[in-house]
Amino acid sequence: MSALFEPITLREVTIPNRVWMAPMCQYSAEPEGPLAGAPHDWHFAHYAARATGGTGLIVVEATAVSPEGRISPYDLGLWNDTQVEAFRRITRFLAAHGTVPAVQLAHAGRKASTDQPWKGGAPLGPQARGWQPLAPSAVPFDERHPVPTELTVEEIGGIVERFAAAARRALAAGFEAVEIHGAHGYLINEFLSPHSNHRTDAYGGSYENRTRFALEVVDAVREVWPADKPVFFRISATDWLQDDGWTTEDTVRFAGDLHAHGIDLLDVSTGGNASGVTIPTGPGYQVPFATRVKTSTPMPVGAVGLITETGQAEKVLANGEADVVLLGRELLRNPSWARHAARELGAEIRVPDQYHRSV
């Protein structure tokens, strides 16, 4: 059997194959009004196409736990029940076609309140539907971004509660798994890294203090999420800094903590928390970070980052470098990547009745 098309069971949820879709923001939700943050026809068509294309699990893009937690005014959210109802249309379709629906819960922290990328992605002020970003410390991401407001301890607790409330709504919306976004320079990652966390209280300084907020979020989500359904955590394994940053060694240590707190899979990415760094990209460039976690801890891992070819993805799994692969841009280019890969590998995959003539 192909390693890529072997099912995997996490808790009591079985995913039919190991071709997963990585969360990728579409920046296409309504920015304001009663439907702000709710998915609409674009999101339905986008995710439905990857489900009919055979993707085993889809992680819906970064979905904000509060309005001020959005990366842009055009992000999805799960802070109200109108959004829940809109998501149900997507999760029903994915499940009906054999794809496990998952959603990434997120807070953008100091990188919030920016424009759509195709419009330049610049920070937006209040006059352009923007707002004041929040962060562990009053340290801007770069010279373009405003100085964020440092969160109080009381406000930190409120955000933890927001993650739990969003997880409850994700369950009501029909999702079978949730992923906590702790990567790419967004709020949780900002707390983890000494590059962005300059606090001197119980949430800053030592490794234990810098990981406190993340573990509080994990505990809050795990408490409200069913025991038979998995929770994932996405991490940036390194800030790609020579010093004063989050490191691979920190990630390995933290993976053990996350596993002890009930996380079922670590989705391993890198970068995003420091501007101007040089990242040596290339095919599968982030896979070694996932492998390091997998060989050092009991935590199942997902590998991501320029995984584009069938043989490449199969090798990652067959060699035990990761437990699943998450495809991003390649699934934007080819929604039916999984079906094409199954054909190359001689593996069986579910095909919609309407598409049987293509087999």
Burial of 81 (0-12, 13-18, 19+ CB in 10 A): exposed
- The domain ranges of the chain are 3-358
Which tokens go with 169?
């709504």
The answer to whether residue 359 scores a pLDDT higher than 80 is no
Contacts 24+ apart (CB under 8 A), 303-307: 303/268, 304/22, 304/267, 304/268, 304/269, 304/328, 305/269, 305/270, 305/281, 306/281, 306/282, 307/283
How far apart are the C-alpha atoms of 277 and 138, rounded to whole Å?
A: 21
Q: Which of 27, 47, 74, 186 is catalytic?
A: 186
Give the pLDDT confidence score for residue 171 in this predicted structure.
98
Non-local CB neighbours of 335 within 8 Å, separated by 6+ positions: 49, 50, 52, 53
pTM recorded for the entire structure:
0.97
Question: CA Rg, the chain, in Å?
Answer: 19
Assess whether 186 carries a catalytic annotation: yes
The answer to whether residue 357 scores a pLDDT higher than 90 is no
Give the pLDDT confidence score for residue 230 in this predicted structure.
98
pLDDT digits (tens, 9 = 90+) for 250-286: 999 999 999 999 999 999 999 999 999 999 999 999 9
The answer to whether residue 332 scores a pLDDT higher than 90 is yes
The answer to whether residue 133 scores a pLDDT higher than 80 is yes
Which tokens go with 3?
């390693």
Give the pLDDT confidence score for residue 225 in this predicted structure.
98
pLDDT digits (tens, 9 = 90+) for 160-219: 999 999 999 999 999 999 999 999 999 999 999 999 999 999 999 999 999 999 999 999
The third-level CATH classification (topology) of the domain covering 3-358 is TIM Barrel (3.20.20)
Average predicted confidence (pLDDT) for the chain: 97
pLDDT band (50, 70, 90) for residue 1: confident
Burial of 359 (0-12, 13-18, 19+ CB in 10 A): exposed
Give the pLDDT confidence score for residue 242 in this predicted structure.
87
Least Cα distance to 225 among 165, 160, 156 occurs for 165
pLDDT digits (tens, 9 = 90+) for 58-111: 999 999 999 999 999 999 999 999 999 999 999 999 999 999 999 999 999 999
Give the pLDDT confidence score for residue 358 in this predicted structure.
82
Give the pLDDT confidence score for residue 90 in this predicted structure.
98
How far apart are the C-alpha atoms of 236 and 250, rounded to whole Å?
A: 10
Give the pLDDT confidence score for residue 163 in this predicted structure.
99
